[in-house]
Amino acid sequence: MLFFPEIEIGQAYDLLLGKIRNYFESAHMEKAVLGLSGGMDSALVAALAVDALGADNVHGILMPSAFSTLHSVKDSVDLSERLGMSYDIVPIGDIYDQYVKQLDSYFADVEWHVALENIQARIRGTLLMAYSNRYGALVLNTSNKSELSVGYGTLYGDLAGAVMVIGDLYKLQVYEMADYINRECERIPSSIIHKAPSAELRPGQKDSDSLPPYEELDPVLHKLNDGGLSQEELVASGVDRALVERVVRLRNGAAFKVMQVPPVFTVAGKPLLPEFKCL
Q: Would 137 be classed as within a structural domain?
A: yes
Q: Would 135 be classed as within a structural domain?
A: yes
Residues 170 and 215: their CA atoms lie apart, in Å, by 10
Q: Would 71 be classed as within a structural domain?
A: yes
Higher model confidence: residue 207 or residue 81?
Answer: 81
Q: What are the DSSP calls for 129-182, one per residue?
A: HHHHHHHTEEEEE---HHHHHHT-S-TTTTT-SSEETTTTS-HHHHHHHHHHHT
Q: Which of 58, 74, 70, 56 minimizes the C-alpha distance to 20?
A: 58
Q: What pLDDT score does 5 carry?
A: 60
Q: What pLDDT score does 1 carry?
A: 56
Higher model confidence: residue 49 or residue 278?
Answer: 49
**Owning domain of residue 109:** 9-207+253-258
Q: Above 70 in pLDDT, residue 260?
A: yes
Q: Above 60 in pLDDT, residue 276?
A: no
Residues 242 and 20: their CA atoms lie apart, in Å, by 39
Higher model confidence: residue 77 or residue 9?
Answer: 77
Q: Would 275 be classed as within a structural domain?
A: no
Q: Above 70 in pLDDT, residue 213?
A: yes
Sequence-ordered list of residues with C-beta below 8 angstroms from that of 247, at least 6 positions apart, any chain: 150, 212, 217, 220, 221, 224
Q: Would 276 be classed as within a structural domain?
A: no
Mean pLDDT of the chain: 91
Q: Above 60 in pLDDT, residue 4?
A: no
Q: What pLDDT score does 69 carry?
A: 74
Higher model confidence: residue 207 or residue 65?
Answer: 65
Q: What pLDDT score does 202 carry?
A: 64
User: What are the strands, taking DSSP E only, across the chain?
Assistant: 31-35, 58-62, 86-89, 137-141, 163-164
Q: What pLDDT score does 159 carry?
A: 96
Per residue in 60-111, pLDDT (tens digit) is 999 998 887 788 899 999 999 999 999 999 999 999 999 999 999 999 999 8
Percent of the chain whose pLDDT exceeds 70:
92
Q: What pLDDT score does 279 carry?
A: 38
Q: Would 186 be classed as within a structural domain?
A: yes
Q: Above 80 in pLDDT, residue 204?
A: no
Q: What pLDDT score does 70 carry?
A: 81
- In whole angstroms, how far apart are CA 37 and each of 1, 62, 68? 26, 6, 8
- Phi and psi at 102, nearest 5°, equal -70, -25
Residues 74 and 93: their CA atoms lie apart, in Å, by 18
Q: What pLDDT score does 226 carry?
A: 87
Q: Which of 214, 217, 63 minimizes the C-alpha distance to 130?
A: 63
The total domain count for the chain is: 1
Q: What pLDDT score does 264 carry?
A: 93
Sheet holding 31-35, edge to edge: 86-89, 58-62, 31-35, 137-141, 163-164
User: What 8-state DSSP symbol labels residue 197?
Assistant: P
Q: What pLDDT score does 278 carry?
A: 45
Residues 191 and 218: their CA atoms lie apart, in Å, by 23
Look up the CATH number of the domain holding residue 187: 3.40.50.620
Q: Above 90 in pLDDT, residue 210?
A: no
Q: Would 188 be classed as within a structural domain?
A: yes
How many Cα atoms occupy the beta-carbon half-sphere of 24 within 13 Å? 23
Going by pLDDT thresholds of 50, 70 and 90, the confidence category of residue 275 is low
| First-to-last C-alpha distance (Å) of the chain | 30
Cα Dmax for the chain:
54
Q: What would the mean pLDDT of 195-219 be, rounded to a whole number?
A: 80
Q: Would 121 be classed as within a structural domain?
A: yes
Q: What pLDDT score does 271 carry?
A: 74
Residues 102 and 94: their CA atoms lie apart, in Å, by 13
Residues 41 and 200: their CA atoms lie apart, in Å, by 14
Residues 25 and 263: their CA atoms lie apart, in Å, by 16
Q: What pLDDT score does 3 carry?
A: 59
Q: Above 80 in pLDDT, residue 274?
A: no
Question: Residue type for 130, please?
Answer: A
